[in-house]
């Protein structure tokens, strides 16, 4: 089974979660979408399994599970400081504490992304504005173009768009025309 390409509004909604930063390293700007549970391991294509990631973390994680990836990152970060003697001051227990902390932090950020994606007002805001974009549009361009409006919408609590004006069809000799319905008109 091949990977499904998500709608652009879903891709933008995921990329701007976690304040637009990578959920794994929490410092780089999100550029791609990653599956927390890899597709090859039965992970779904639903947005509950999607998180924003930077290119480096996405390539590094590849098909690894979350715990394996966080372990690799932790050892890359603290391996040089670790003691060669397992029972030393920076030995096995020290590294285990670093690993547990890093894993808890990653899980907390992923849970935060899931709660952001579950926010109905937020998902409605992205859908209302970007449902018409095609799946094959370059997401990195759209991410740059809409960043300011997403930031403003986040500050304003994801406001709903104004309702469209009420219109009625008016027939004339040239065909049909639309005319606005006045507020005081009930017909």
Burial 25-34 (b: 16+ CB within 10 A, else e): eeeeebbbbb
Residue 177 CB partners (closer than 8 Å, separation 6+) = 169, 170, 171
Question: What is the value of pTM for the model shown?
Answer: 0.77
For residue 168, the model assigns a pLDDT of 78
pLDDT in tens, 23-78: 988 888 999 999 998 888 888 888 889 999 999 989 988 888 889 988 888 888 88
- pLDDT for res 89: 75
- pLDDT reported for residue 80: 77
Residue 180: strand pairing partners: 167
What was the pLDDT predicted at 52?
94
Sorted by where each begins, the domain ranges of the chain are 8-155
Q: Which residues of the chain have pLDDT under 70?
A: 1-3, 84-88, 173-176, 185-187
User: Tell me, what's the pLDDT at 21?
Assistant: 92
Question: Which residues, in sequence order, are bridge partners of residue 116?
Answer: none
What pLDDT does residue 111 have?
A: 94
> 96-115 burial string, b = 16+ CB within 10 Å, else e?
eebbeebbeebeebbeebbe
pLDDT of residue 1: 45
User: Residue 187: its pLDDT value, please?
Assistant: 55
């Amino acid at each position: 089974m091949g990977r499904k390409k998500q709608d652009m509004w879903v891709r933008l909604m995921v990329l701007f979660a976690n304040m637009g930063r990578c959920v794994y390293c929490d410092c780089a700007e999100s550029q791609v979408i990653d599956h927390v549970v890899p597709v090859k391991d039965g992970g779904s294509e639903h947005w509950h399994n999607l998180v924003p990631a930077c290119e480096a973390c996405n390539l590094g994680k590849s098909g690894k599970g979350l715990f394996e990836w966080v372990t690799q990152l932790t050892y890359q970060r603290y391996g040089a400081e670790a003691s060669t003697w397992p029972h030393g001051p920076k030995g096995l227990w020290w590294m285990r504490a670093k690993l547990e902390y890093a894993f808890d932090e990653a899980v907390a950020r992923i849970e935060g992304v899931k709660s952001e994606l579950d926010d109905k007002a937020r998902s409605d805001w992205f859908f209302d504005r970007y449902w018409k974009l095609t799946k094959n549009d370059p997401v990195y361009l759209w991410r740059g173009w809409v960043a300011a409006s997403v930031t403003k919408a986040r500050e304003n609590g994801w406001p709903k768009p104004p309702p469209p004006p009420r219109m009625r069809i008016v027939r004339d000799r040239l065909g049909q025309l639309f005319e606005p319905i006045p507020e005081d008109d009930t017909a």
